[in-house]
Amino acid sequence: MQVDPAPLLQSLLQKAFPLALSFLDDAIILAVTNLGLNLPWLHCLGTVLLVLSTVYWTIQIVQFCYQRFSTHRV
């Protein structure tokens, strides 16, 4: 039996995207702070990314529940 790696890779990328985005956000904040730059929008960046991550995961959970429970109906 041969396994298609494309869906596995897509699933892995979907799960890793919010984590990578969060890491990138923290890295940018630390780098800019260490350089001594004061950017007013930088303080809001963490909050915006947190809200976007929450919305993303909410959509993923709703889609999962819809697919899981709609396929078991007769």
Would you say residue 62 has pLDDT above 80? yes
Task: List, for residues 29-50, the tens digit of each pLDDT value.
Answer: 788 888 887 777 777 877 887 8
Tell me, what's the pLDDT at 2? Answer: 67
Average pLDDT of the residues of the chain: 78
Q: Which residue has the tokens 């890295």?
A: 27
61/13: higher pLDDT: 61
* DSSP letter string, 1-61: -PPPHHHHHHHHHHHHHHHHHHHHHHHHHHHHHHHT---TTHHHHHHHHHHHHHHHHHHHH
Tell me, what's the pLDDT at 5? Answer: 67
Six-digit token string for 24: 């990138």
What's the CA dihedral at 44, 49, 52, 56 to 10 degrees? -170
